[in-house]
Each structure stands twice: as C-alpha cells, then as structure tokens.
Copies of this chain bind each other. A is one copy, B any other.
Amino acid sequence: MRAVRLHEIDRENGPKNFRVEQVDDPQPAPGELLVAVRRAAFNRRDVFISQGLYPGIQLPCIPGSDGAGTVAAHGEGAQGPALGTRVVIDPTLGWGPSQRIWLRSAQVLGMPHQGTFAEYIAVPAENVHPAPASLSDDEAAAIPLAGVTAYRALVSRGGCTKDDVVLIPGVGSGVQTFVLLFAKKIGAKVIVTSSSDEKLERAKALGADVAINYNTAERWEKDVQAVDGGPSLVVDSVGGDTLGKAVNVTRYGGRVVIYGGTTGDAKIRPYSVFWKQLDIMGSSMGSPHDFAAMLAMFDPSTSSGQAIKPVVDRVYAMNDVAAAAESVDKGAQFGKVLLAVGEA
C-alpha cells in the first residue's frame, strides 16, 4: 500500500521529511478491523514528531491519528461494523477503565503504532465507529483527535451547559474550533479571542457571540469581563500570560479547563483561585465514552443549539503531504488540514 513515512526528525525542517512510500499492507490481528482509509487529518502532534518535539520517537514511522474510510476486513473474532461500512477511527488505544484518567500505557494512533497516513490501517474493533450520516468523508476524518480533545475539555471535564459563557482564547486551531462548535451546539454563549481579524470573522460565522482581537484591544480582559460579568467557563491551550489573565477574569464559582500550554508557564494568583472558589482542570485526549458522546454531537436530530459540521481548512493530495505539514506548522489554518489518502 501507499503510506506516508518519516525516516528522520529535524527541529528546523521536520515537515519536509514526510514522504510517500510503498509498504506492506497491514493484516488485522484477532479482534482488529482493517480499515481502507479515504481521508486522514493532521494534528500538531504529527508535526511535533517530525521536529523531534515528542517523547519516545521511534523511526521509521507512519504518522497520523485521524482517519475515516470503510471497513475492508475483520480479524479473527472481531465484532464491530460490517464490511464496507463508512467509519471513523477513535485514535486512543488502551485508555483503560477509568473515566478520570487514562492508563499510563495508553497510546495515540501514529507512532509507535502505525498511523492513518496510509491506505490501510488495522485497529481494535472497539476503536471503529460508524461515521455520522450527516458528514462527508472529509468532515468525518476531521473529527477524531481534535474532536474528542475538545469534547472532553468542554463537556466531560468542564461540564458545559446552555447557561455558560465560554471563553475560547486563541480560536482557530483544530481543537478550539471544535470547542466553539460544541459550545454552540449546547447553546452556551461564546467569547473568542485571536490576533487575527480573519479568524475572528470565521469564528463569528460559526456562531461565536463576541470576538475580541487581543492585539488591538486595549485590555482584552476588560472586554471579556464586560460580557455578562465574564466567563463561567474557560477552555485554554495557550497557557502563559493568557492563562493567568483568564483565571483572573473568570466568574465566581467558574471553571478553567486546560488541555495544552503552548506559551509555557502561567503565573497564577492563589487569591483568584481560592476566593472565587474556581476549578482549574487538566484534560488530555478522551476516553472511549467521550469519543462516542462526541460523535453524537454531530447528529442533526438533536434539538438543542445549532446543527454543526467540522471545519475543513483544505484537503491536500497525499503527494503534497510535506506542504500540508508546513501549513500546520505555521498555524495559519482555520479548522483541519486533510490528506486525501484514498478515493473519496
């Protein structure tokens, strides 16, 4: 089969190292399904691996956590969707029995396990879900890792309801776009911030109620607090100063969920936390239960909030994988960057 492989890592030019090669087809082990991948999607994780910015890198590897396609074969005794079913893959392997935290042995598809940037992939049958009927292959492939990360942060950890005012700092990334979509589906009011007016406009088109440019605002914290007294729920992956300020503007009894920290350490005022009795909660990836509940958000028959669809930035041909990786590295996209692996 054709697959994207990484043979070396490079801090500067990692994204250029993704290349398409011919490799042996995988065979489904007992309990596994073989999926013919049609579309895959990039996550920052894939680029970080190419740059050596990920622990325990094993080379060569076939990256990719996100994929949608059809069931091509069943391993011995495997349950799950029938041959030919349109499916989407839960990228978390071996989460374990607890909803609260994964097992330390849990992994995400794509290094060291073979990833989705390949024509075929073999995964445990319980990781294979029928794709939401309302979504195209592109849209289905855009969902998995970003969608489950967003769902767990916003809903399972953050407990978002229609009564919340949700602050989404740095809108535009794959995950933050899903946080916006899910919050609007739930019926919450949403404040987004970005340094890009273009991203703010796109967020408003997706339902954001208030959009603030943190570069041109005199003090974005003040503008955020002017909205109904400030957010009751923050979902952040920026970290640093942004996180410290977000804690300060959060309402009494509010929640701050952290699923990343791009800009590093945050200076936190204990007084803001204890006096307002905040909950600051870490979130990473998502459980099988989170994944199934997240997929259900795309059922258009659910009456609350607005109907939603994943946001696709652009679909790249498999041979253009390096260009796709560079685009993710630059962070200029809005929504997910896809790879056309098979026929759609």
Chain A residues close to B by CB (< 8 Å): 98, 100-101, 104, 157, 239, 243, 252-253, 258-261, 264-284
Closest to A272 in B: B282
Instruction: Provide the residues of chain B in CB contact with A282, threshold 8 Å.
Output: 272-279
Cα distance A300–B270 when bound, in Å? 35
Assuming A261-B271, A265-B270, A269-B261, is B243 touching A277 (CB within 8 A)?
no
Tell me the number of copies of this protein.
Answer: 2
Residues of B within 8 A of A260 (CB): 270, 274
Contacts of A270 in B (CB 8 A): 239, 243, 258, 260-261, 264-266
Whether A274 contacts B284 by the Cβ 8 Å rule is yes
Q: Point out the residues of chain B lying under 8 angstroms from A272, CB to CB.
A: 282
Add 6 more A-B contacts to A267-B268, A279-B279 (CB < 8 A). Answer: A259-B274, A261-B270, A272-B282, A274-B283, A278-B281, A279-B282
Chain B residue nearest to A261 in the complex (CB): B270
Contact A277 B273, CB 8 Å, known A101-B252, A101-B253, A104-B252: no
Cα–Cα, bound, A253→B278 (Å):
18
Residues of B within 8 A of A258 (CB): 270, 273-274
Q: Name A98's closest neighbour in chain B (CB-CB).
A: B253
Provide the bound-state CA to CA distance between A256 and B280, in Å: 9
Q: What are 15 A-B pairs with beta-carbon distances under 8 A?
A: A101-B252, A243-B268, A258-B273, A258-B274, A259-B274, A260-B270, A264-B270, A265-B267, A265-B270, A267-B267, A268-B268, A272-B282, A273-B282, A278-B281, A280-B281
